[in-house]
Structure 1
Amino acid sequence: MNRLPSPRRTAWRIATATLLIASAGWLTACASGPKPADYAAEKPVLDLATYFNGPLVAHGLFTDRSGKVVKRFTVKMVGTWTGNRGVLEEDFTYSDGTLQRRVWRLQKQADGRYTGEADDVVGGAVGQAAGNALNWRYTLALPVDGKVWEVQFDDWMYLMDEKVMLNKAVMSKFGITLGEVTLSFYKP
């Protein structure tokens, strides 16, 4: 029996094919994002043990998905290193008066890799440095309105010179971008 597809079945097949093609394009776009190796030739070369050694200050802001500034903040930091192990103490002061403290325990690995732990980082952070850039990836336990959300950070740092580093991080949950954090570090 030669049966022609119904209009409804044809529409469903077209919608399914369109969704699959769009999904493949989205996944390809995600996979083609920047990699640390893209910055291997950039100078000055970023070494966390050198830059995050001693006192630093950073100014930053958090923007939501629409680009609206939700919070501004200042971070006073002190970093100390012994061999390949470092401690970075961060004291945040937010524009609404909220205070927060995070202490990173960092370790330099081979080939420009770094690992990090902090009390509010779930499972640890992993990073790769190349040239003037470092890409950190980690999950942060973020308190929001009395609940704790586990959000993912794709965090990029770019050393501009021996005193200034810029930082841009995308915060997401379930693959959906929630906002971005932008920081400017200064080493006196």
Structure 2
Amino acid sequence: MKSFFTRLAFTIFCGALLVSCSSPQVSQYAAEKPALDLSEYFSGTIDAYGIFTDRNGEVKKRFTVLIKASWTVVEGKKVGTLDERFEYSDGTKQTRIWTLTEQSPGNYIGRADDVVGDAQGQLAGNALNWTYTLALPVDGTIYNVQFNDWMYLITPKVMLNKAKMSKFGIDLGEVTLSFYKR
């Protein structure tokens, strides 16, 4: 009988551990307002301000982003182009051009030159979750880093973004951004 209770306690502990480690699902934000319409928010000019923090929370980089965004309809699907111009606090500059395609309501695929494969996006309510692998240059070497990227529309003009970076399941740091739609 003692063995039964030991196994039961172990099973309950493992179940609780799995639940505590689970990630939020975008569907849990479905009722949140204001509702995010990706093609509406990312249309025109958007300014973004961000930081990269390492796994200890130390700010390693600060940056600004100027985004020029537009949408068209191709073969019945909404297709967006986000032209992102980064400027880092050390004076370096970078450009990333995203092509976003709505696959079905709330489901998107994103592509960019430094994204390995397709970024997968899910939207519900005021939240958007992107998961993708970015080919990140560091000191002359390219590392494929996984991003779990969450965006939350706060007002029709303001969106906050928090992205966790990892490699082989090991936390590398976070990117935090605030977007302001002009």
Give the TM-score taking structure 2 as reference length: 0.88
Q: Quick check: 1:91 aligned with 2:81?
A: no
Letter in 1 for 2:116: V
1:126-169 per-position Cα deviation (integer Å, ceiling 9, x unaligned): 01000000000000000001100000000000001110000000
Using the alignment, how far apart are the partners of 2:70 and 2:92 within structure 1? 26
RMSD: 1.8
Residue 32 of structure 2: aligned partner: 42
| 1:5-154 superposed matches below 5 A | 27-30=18-21, 32-83=22-73, 84-154=78-148
The number of aligned residues is 169
Using the alignment, how far apart are the partners of 2:17 and 2:87 within structure 1? 37
Residue 169 of structure 2: aligned partner: 175
Q: Quick check: 1:162 aligned with 2:156?
A: yes
What secondary structure does 2:147 align onto?
strand
Using the alignment, how far apart are the partners of 1:112 and 1:103 within structure 2? 21
Offset at residue 22 of structure 1 (A): 8.7
Using the alignment, how far apart are the partners of 2:32 and 2:56 within structure 1? 31
Using the alignment, how far apart are the partners of 1:122 and 1:137 within structure 2? 11
Residue 8 of structure 1: aligned partner: none
Runs (5+) with no aligned partner, structure 1:
1-17
The share of aligned pairs that are identical, in percent, is: 62
Using the alignment, how far apart are the partners of 1:24 and 1:152 within structure 2? 26
Using the alignment, how far apart are the partners of 1:110 and 1:156 within structure 2? 19
Runs (5+) with no aligned partner, structure 2:
1-9
Using the alignment, how far apart are the partners of 1:114 and 1:87 within structure 2? 13
Using the alignment, how far apart are the partners of 1:86 and 1:48 within structure 2? 9
1:63-120 per-position Cα deviation (integer Å, ceiling 9, x unaligned): 0000000000000000010020010000000000110000000001213011100000
Greater Rg, structure 1 or structure 2? Answer: 1
